[in-house]
Structure 1
């Protein structure tokens, strides 16, 4: 599945199709939605992570809310730092840390950790 996104926040460079499986996370600073892949950042026309989350969940895609500003792709998480409540995504080399996202301890941390461990169990079989 592909999303239509923009390379710049104003959309002046025109639309770009981005494969959903390439997305590490969606972030917001309340002024705009950014989409992060391993090496790039794109912009999305929706105005809230909640709306994006609803669409992705309706499509049964593995994105979960990590905290107020991060919606993460659980299939792309390679490590969880339990001390600092962060998830890490794969970097340029296999096993290497790349981008990260924070996870809210009071509301989402246990769920994200359980999903991560469940996914690890599936890949280790």
Structure 2
């Protein structure tokens, strides 16, 4: 099993996938959990949205409100009136969605519309990506 870690307690550094089998001890130091290998000390990635945000931006994610980091490339529908984005090809009452703050809606509206209108690539088996 691999676990996401960084070299600094604030999780600002590069994310490394540390193999659990390489850990020799797990310790609490200065109120932070630390993973120790024979050579290094690592800090587990703290699982809150603010810590994750800088690590996923380069993968197409954007903060649309205080509760949502959205993969902008996966948006399929935009409901401007209700400030929602959807990810399913066909919308149903079970479709996943994310909310957008009013402030962010005005900033990303153009980008969302461009993403939705962009032709999807076909895979080798003929399915859209």
What TM-score, normalized to structure 1? Answer: 0.52
**Paired residue secondary structure (1:123):** coil
CA contact (8 A) 2:68 2:98 kept: yes
Query: With CA pairs under 8 Å and 6+ residues apart, which has the higher RCO, 1 or 2?
Result: 1
Gaps of 5+ in 2: 5-44, 121-129
Equivalent position of 2:48 in the other structure: 48
Equivalent position of 1:41 in the other structure: none
Higher strand share: 1
Given the alignment, which residue of 105, 108, 119 partners 2:104? 108
2-side partners of 1:99 and 1:120: how far apart?
A: 16
Alignment root-mean-square deviation, CA: 2.8
**Cα distance, 1:88 vs structure 2:** 1.2
Equivalent position of 1:35 in the other structure: none
Equivalent position of 2:90 in the other structure: 95
2-side partners of 1:118 and 1:70: how far apart?
A: 20
Paired residues, number: 79
Describe the superposition over 1:65-99 as per-residue Cα deviations: whole angstroms up to 9, x where unpaired.
Answer: 11011111111111111111111110xxx423411
**Cα distance, 1:101 vs structure 2:** 1.1
Gaps of 5+ in 1: 5-44
Equivalent position of 1:82 in the other structure: 80
Alignment of 1:1-125 (within 5 A): 46-57=46-57, 60-90=58-88, 94-97=89-92, 98-105=95-102, 107-123=103-119
Q: Larger Cα Rg: Structure 1 or Structure 2?
A: 2
